[in-house]
Amino acid sequence: MLAEAEKPIAFQCNICGADNTVPLGQLSREEPSCGCGSTVRMRSIIQVLTSELFGESMAIADIAPPRPDIVGIGMSCWDGYAIPLAHRIAFKNTYYHQEPRLDITDIEPEQEETLDFIVSTDVYEHVAPPVSIAFDNARRLLKPDGVFVFTVPYFSPGKKRVKTIEHFPDLHDYELQNLGSRFRMKNVTRSGDVQLFDDLVFHGGPGTTLEMRVFSEWSMLKELRRAGFDDLTIYSQPDWKYGVYWPLQHSLPVAARVSQNKRFWQMGATIRHR
């Protein structure tokens, strides 16, 4: 008898359209499980986005006819889905360090309420504190019925109200110093104190990929609610057709909206699992 992790799973990649059969154990958040390089997290972005925009999980190629009236942005999204998605809807991928540029902590007034959706996958752990500004601005960018498709790595301590771990809570005037074999951060706080940090964590390289924090599930949801997103859906269930499976129930994708029902809004945030 095959071990559970070796059980073959057949699925269609909702990004490139390829048919795949892989061991169940290969369906993990960050391990590529399709020839195009897509991971469970990447395919889940398309799952969540299409479900929220069209009412059902579908492949990019099945968005037909194209919908140029649906306008949204990605924040440093993977080209593997950003490029084909831009042929189906009005999707623009933005970056912090190059054009088209978006600094989610400093948006322009004319950008407010212009977007039907925003995709941010594993970006907010790199945003300089206070991260609350970035959540506020995501809501401000969206139209009243827009959706924020959001992921970050987070730990889930059950129902305990455990706060996000901020690595640099007093970050103000800082620089990364290249010491040859490693990087060091030098920070001067608002009060003038000098701080040196040596145990830095980078995701993919130095610079803007510096890990600023490790979210807890409770704090992440609290930030979304505080920013005004009161209708939250956590996509925790498998989507076997497209190879989306979460063996570890944390760091799951979230769809966040602002409720348009005043009575519903007054009752407080609703969190669904789908």
Total domain count, the chain: 2
Q: Are strands 213-216 and 154-155 parallel, antiparallel or unpaired?
A: parallel
Question: What was the pLDDT predicted at 268?
Answer: 62
Do the domain assignments include residue 161? Answer: no
User: Within 10-150, where are the H helices?
Assistant: 40-54, 79-86, 132-141
Closest of 231, 212, 209 to residue 221, by C-alpha: 231
Q: Are residues 151 and 173 in the same domain?
A: no
Question: What was the pLDDT predicted at 220?
Answer: 96
| Confidence at 267, pLDDT banded by 50, 70, 90 | low
Question: What was the pLDDT predicted at 96?
Answer: 87
Q: Which tokens in the block code for residue 153?
A: 């790595």
Q: Are residues 130 and 195 in the same domain?
A: no
Do the domain assignments include residue 163? Answer: no
User: Of 9-13, 26-30, 50-54, 158-162, where does mean pLDDT reach its minimum?
Assistant: 158-162
Contact indicator for 91, 118 with CB cutoff of 8 Å? no
Side-chain-facing half-sphere of 169: CA atoms under 13 Å? 4
| Confidence at 206, pLDDT banded by 50, 70, 90 | low
Question: What was the pLDDT predicted at 248?
Answer: 87
Q: How far apart are CA 239 and CA 121, in angstroms?
A: 18
Q: Are residues 46 and 79 in the same domain?
A: yes
Q: Are residues 147 and 230 in the same domain?
A: yes
Closest of 122, 184, 120 to residue 146, by C-alpha: 120
Q: Are residues 257 and 178 in the same domain?
A: no
Task: Check pLDDT > 90 for residue 40.
Answer: yes
Question: What was the pLDDT predicted at 98?
Answer: 87
- For helices 79-86 and 40-54, angle between their N-to-C axes, nearest 10 degrees: 30
Mean per-residue pLDDT for 8-18? 98
Q: Are residues 203 and 221 in the same domain?
A: no
Q: How far apart are CA 157 and CA 143, in angstroms?
A: 33
Do the domain assignments include residue 160? Answer: no
pLDDT tens-place string over residues 61-117: 999 999 999 999 999 999 999 999 999 999 999 998 889 999 999 999 999 999 999
Do the domain assignments include residue 77? Answer: yes
Find the domain containing 183 and state its range. Answer: 168-210
pLDDT tens-place string over residues 255-264: 999 987 654 5
